[in-house]
Structure 1
Amino acid sequence: MSAQGNQPAPTTGPGRAPRGSACLNCRRRKFKCDGARPICGPCIRTHREYDCEYTDGPTRSPTQLLEDNIARLEARIYELEHPESVAPSVTLHDPHTATAPPNTPIQLTPIASSSAGAAGSSAPSASYLMPQASLVTALDATSEPSPDVVQMLVGFFLPHANQVGFFLHHGRFREHALVPAADTRQARLSPALLNAVYLWGVHFSGNASMIAHEPVFLQRAVQAVSSALVRVPPYNIIYSIQAEVLLAHYFFAANRSLEGRYHSNAAVALSLSCRLNKLRSSNNMPNPPGVLNVDLAPPADALEEGERINAFWCVFILDKSWSVRAGSPSHFNGSPGAQVDIPWPLQIEDYAQRGIPPTLRSSLTMQTFLSGVSPELTQGMSPMALRAKASALFERASRRASQWTPAMAYVEQFAAELFVLENVIQQFVDALPPLHGAPDPDTARDRLITHTFALVASMQVHSTLRQGQNGAPGRDLDAARRAVAAIDSVNLAGIGYVDPIMAVLWTAVSRVLIGEIVRLRMIWTSASLLADQAAAGAHQQQHVEADHDGLIAALQKILTAMTTFAHTSPLMALQAATVRQELEGSAR
């Protein structure tokens, strides 16, 4: 035997992979990977099997390929945001011409989908239920669904559509979607949109036999979206945006944030490409020659214009909400090409009933609101407009909180900006419709989400001010308690499904409560030492104990709410488990 063969293998510690050979998930989370293949031990123990990928093979991993695609999309978005300073790398074409473009429009590479989302929780209406045996026979995810199955899936989807970013008119969409001929149906709505709706319909069905088909429906939806824009002539770009928004919501809910970010960025890029942010702008200056060449045909009617306006705001809300979770900047923070000049959204039925005055023009819609100029605080009061404002406040407060450091320059200026932001938040919260007395569960759910967004924004601002010793103590805790109290105003059992961004918001609230619990336990220990020395010490101990018990009860309310929706969203289930672990850790 050769001398080389007698040499011992290099030691890496018990159960630890050699340096450089850990899986991607363990590297990101700073876990000690054991290098087991195809799935390592730490990923199995933390239920992250689908994130376990190795990069030491001959080809790039799916995650690396997806990150490459995201980088290309973000570069494209930057070009759209800064048309005056960047030479375009892609020439976009008019989607209403039948000639092939000189360059391929925004390429959306198919994403390999290896897992299904969790089952939906909602109970569909009886008119869409089928006996299980015939359901399994009728549902074939490998081919275009039959008209009966399409009707069933659309029926499962529409009651929850607004919670997953659906901005189209329900009646008009249903009319097109339920056309018996598949070719006519696809020509009117596009396969990308239809397959995204079918996917969510399966997800919301609550039927185990249907949910078994969910991975195939997901694959079909992703492939349809990736090919929608390269078709000649292309499908309606608004429908492509809708499909991207639906898929982004699906992946975020499934705790597949990288894929969610990809489709969210695609929706942003498409929206900026056709200048949805400039609809009805009073300052609609054309872009430099060669930078942008996507012009939407004039809307056929007021309802179609309303769908375009609401399309932009759904993309805006998606971007503002989830950029915080991703730790990436929002794409709508004042860049020239991404300036928001569009009117505030209305409820979709209002466009059909009264439309928008022909002379109405808008400028700096969101920037004016965030600056605290009073007229904008009382304009835009539809549920979608309020959600857009609340998500913008949440994103700005979170971004400011992430920028704070004790050694930062211009601390006084930074604090002054935070006080302005808190003033806007407070005026906004005061103007919100009350949580009590909502006329129906959908309205109650919308109000709960909007109130929670705003209260978490306030919480973030006051936490940051307290770190800089500029804020009143306890204001962040007050906001957290109000967010918990909001839960009591809604019958969660009657909602069925809630936007999974609530998992992120409720986790943020929980962490403020847990931080206060830790502080009280330290005081509790000190009070216990003083209890035998003075009556004041005993009184303090009783007061601290009462506060502590109240905070524990508040946390239990949040955990109960998260548990209610855990089976509808893997992200919600994960965040609930995270809150429990952090609460248990605070007791050590």
Structure 2
Amino acid sequence: MIAEQPKTNTAASKAMAKPLKRGRACMTCRILKIKCDGVRPICGPCRKNPKEEECEFSDGPTRSRTKVLEETVSRLEARLQELEHPDETTPSVTLHDPYSPYHDSRQLSKHPSTLLMPDSRLFTPLSPFSPTSATSSLPSGRQWTSFGLEAKSDSVTSSGSSSSPHGHHASSPFLGEEEPSFGIIQNLVDNFLPHASEFGFFLNTNRFRHATLLPLPFGHHSRPSRSLLSAVYLWGAHLSQSELLLAQEHTLMIRALQHTATDIMGPHPDAVLHTLQAEVLLAYYLFQTGRFLEAKTHAATAVSLALAAGFHKIRTSNLHPQPMIGLSSETPISLHPPHDNIEEGERINGFWTVLMLHKYLTIALEPPTSVCGTLEAPGTQIDTPWPLDITNYSEGLLHPDVRGSNTIRNFLVNIPEQGYQGQSVLAMNAKAAILFHRSAQLSGQWTPNLQPREFQSFAAVFQSLNRLIETLRHSLTPLAQLDVKNPYTRTIVLTHALTDAATIKLHSIFSYSDSSSKQHCLTSARNMLAFAGFNIQDVGYLNPIIGTLWMTACHVFIDEISRLRSMHTAWPPNTEGSEDELMERLRSGMAVLNTLSDESSLGKYQLTKIQEAFSAI
């Protein structure tokens, strides 16, 4: 019996009989030119001949793989046509070689006779991947470029150090060959060292220079650490008058920042001391160039490192555990005992340099109500004896029996010091910085609504600080007796300015209501900007905080001129206290600040602030 054939669905049959619209057939059937039923996800022909992948349809929600490949082939064929017939087509993309400067520098290094600039041979090759940025710039507005020279990765020394400027070549995995030629190193170091103390350099300059110029690789243990050398090279370029060196300043800054961040965990025997010195130099550099937040960051790092290393407890008379910086591979990092008096003196001076840096930046960059003393916070006792001038340590002026305890507290409560302690130029500078900081801190605590007991406490501290400031002032060498060629003159000028600024900070809160305080402020401001009659430009570079001190003096004159105008007080022309005399003093102060504005972004910023304050009265 023959089975009855099922009836065919008429509608379905008619639909299948119709030809498929273009795009409904799968890509395989289209390529093979066979009839496709369009069933998804797998059509009939593909189901009869199974394959690993599902059918691809050109009208799907996304482009099929075949379509993408077709478009890629078309695009490459068009590009090939452009390259083969550049005159017949308009290219859509212009290709360039991003390493052409690198290749050019290699050719130039092979053929020095083709160099257009004779000084360009002064730099040793560096990696083309040096961490420089074409978009970054320092506040001074200079145009920065990288060294842009090659690295030789096949000549790394066994210790991992990179090349020196003395014929050895090696590379760092991050920075390539980082040192300029020997002659340029001499130039950079000699640019910096005459002014080094003004930017926080506390090491023995003779020893440093000798070690720097040794014919040994960069990072060798007998030379200063990478971070310290990089920071000194940075300052040397910044202080130079050479456009060639100034053009490398940004590159040198990047390298100094990178080495300073990593050297503390390195194998250099003086890693702690040299990293501390590098942090101080970078903080001053960033402050000078107007990068205030970064300056504060590096100053804070220097403070933390000095405390962790126990530099505040050198020669302490109290029981103090051996300091440890941290752990590296479960091995504690600690300082070795100083080898001689000079090395111990470097650590003592290093601590006081960090303390002064911290106080300078706190006053310059913090509002009066936020001025605080991290290094003198409760529980942080400073026992390190007062610093000596670095040459005094080799002369044996730091007696072996000298011990310290509560050095700053004893000074503030006026306990007499023994012998030469506290009488050096650097000690006087540190004391002036402490008094300046304390005066700013106290003035920030003043409010007219103090309770009687609070007012009595405030008045007692006020009178004590005022006596200390006056005592220090009378113990300083008068400016009129200074020789501008003496290297200590700059520090003494700064100490006088700090002392005058401390008086202004202390008395300014009462200058509107108390005539005595007003006269203290005016006298100190006049002294600060008079310089005992000699030309301040003859002294040379001063610590960057000097601009903040001069701003303080200028504000005194601006405030007094404003007060006279508001009271309509008439003074005889050109007499002390008249508006003419005050205006002349103010112009003198602004002229001094103008000299700083030519040297740094910080100076430009300070001059602008004074001009804004003057225009507002």
Q: With structure 2 as the length reference, what TM-score do the two structures score?
A: 0.67
The 8 Å contact of residues 271 and 312 in structure 1, kept in 2 or not, is answered as yes
1:470, distance to aligned residue in structure 2 (A): 10
Q: Which deviates the most, 558-567 or 381-390?
A: 558-567
1:459, distance to aligned residue in structure 2 (A): 1.2
1:566 alignment partner, one of 585, 597, 611: 597
1:493, distance to aligned residue in structure 2 (A): 2.3
- Report the residue type matching 1:332 in the other structure: L
Taking the TM superposition and a 5 Å limit, the aligned residue runs for 1:349-388 are: 349-375=391-417, 379-388=421-430
SS in structure 2 of the partner of residue 114 of structure 1: coil
SS in structure 2 of the partner of residue 172 of structure 1: helix
2:305 corresponds to 1:270: yes
1:492, distance to aligned residue in structure 2 (A): 1.9
SS in structure 2 of the partner of residue 300 of structure 1: coil
CA distance in 1, matches of 2:594, 2:217: 40
CA distance in 2, matches of 1:151, 1:419: 51
- Report the residue type matching 2:359 in the other structure: K
The 8 Å contact of residues 340 and 363 in structure 1, kept in 2 or not, is answered as yes
1:240, distance to aligned residue in structure 2 (A): 0.5
In the alignment, what sits opposite 1:126?
A: none
- Seen in structure 2, the aligned counterparts of structure 1 residues 141 and 380 have a Cα distance that, compared at 3 Å, is farther
The 8 Å contact of residues 385 and 407 in structure 2, kept in 1 or not, is answered as yes
1:472, distance to aligned residue in structure 2 (A): 4.5
CA distance in 1, matches of 2:387, 2:229: 24
The 8 Å contact of residues 303 and 375 in structure 2, kept in 1 or not, is answered as no
How many aligned positions are there? 443
Taking the TM superposition and a 5 Å limit, the aligned residue runs for 1:432-443 are: 432-441=476-485, 442-443=487-488
- Seen in structure 2, the aligned counterparts of structure 1 residues 290 and 227 have a Cα distance that, compared at 3 Å, is closer
CA distance in 2, matches of 1:171, 1:186: 17
1:464, distance to aligned residue in structure 2 (A): 2.7
1:114, distance to aligned residue in structure 2 (A): 3.1
CA distance in 2, matches of 1:469, 1:423: 18
The 8 Å contact of residues 575 and 581 in structure 2, kept in 1 or not, is answered as no
SS in structure 2 of the partner of residue 436 of structure 1: helix
Post-superposition Cα deviations, 1:371-429, rounded to whole Å, max 9, x if no partner, equal 22344798412221111001100000001111111113311210121011101101110
More helix per residue: 1 or 2?
1
Taking the TM superposition and a 5 Å limit, the aligned residue runs for 1:103-252 are: 114-116=136-138, 118=140, 143-183=178-218, 185=220, 188-232=223-267, 235-252=270-287
1:185, distance to aligned residue in structure 2 (A): 4.6
CA distance in 2, matches of 1:323, 1:116: 22
Structure of greater relative contact order (alpha carbons < 8 Å, 6+ residues apart): 1
2:609 alignment partner, one of 567, 578, 585: 578
The 8 Å contact of residues 369 and 376 in structure 1, kept in 2 or not, is answered as no
SS in structure 1 of the partner of residue 294 of structure 2: helix
1:286, distance to aligned residue in structure 2 (A): 2.9
Taking the TM superposition and a 5 Å limit, the aligned residue runs for 1:516-527 are: 516-524=560-568
Identity percentage of aligned residues: 34
Show structure 1 runs of 5+ residues with no match: 1-109, 121-139, 528-539
1:213, distance to aligned residue in structure 2 (A): 1.0
Taking the TM superposition and a 5 Å limit, the aligned residue runs for 1:399-438 are: 399-409=441-451, 410-438=454-482
SS in structure 1 of the partner of residue 364 of structure 2: helix
The 8 Å contact of residues 263 and 271 in structure 2, kept in 1 or not, is answered as no
The 8 Å contact of residues 119 and 568 in structure 1, kept in 2 or not, is answered as no
Question: Of the two, which has the highest radius of gyration?
Answer: 2
Q: With structure 1 as the length reference, what TM-score do the two structures score?
A: 0.70
- Seen in structure 2, the aligned counterparts of structure 1 residues 386 and 225 have a Cα distance that, compared at 3 Å, is same
1:239, distance to aligned residue in structure 2 (A): 0.4
In the alignment, what sits opposite 1:552?
A: 583
1:291, distance to aligned residue in structure 2 (A): 9.8
1:503 alignment partner, one of 544, 547, 552: 547
- Report the residue type matching 1:396 in the other structure: R
CA distance in 2, matches of 1:578, 1:510: 10
- Report the residue type matching 1:342 in the other structure: T
- Report the residue type matching 1:408 in the other structure: L
SS in structure 2 of the partner of residue 229 of structure 1: helix
Show structure 2 runs of 5+ residues with no match: 1-130, 143-174
CA distance in 2, matches of 1:494, 1:289: 45
In the alignment, what sits opposite 1:446?
A: 491
- Report the residue type matching 1:572 in the other structure: G
In the alignment, what sits opposite 1:478?
A: 523
2:386 corresponds to 1:344: yes
1:326, distance to aligned residue in structure 2 (A): 2.4
CA distance in 2, matches of 1:289, 1:141: 32
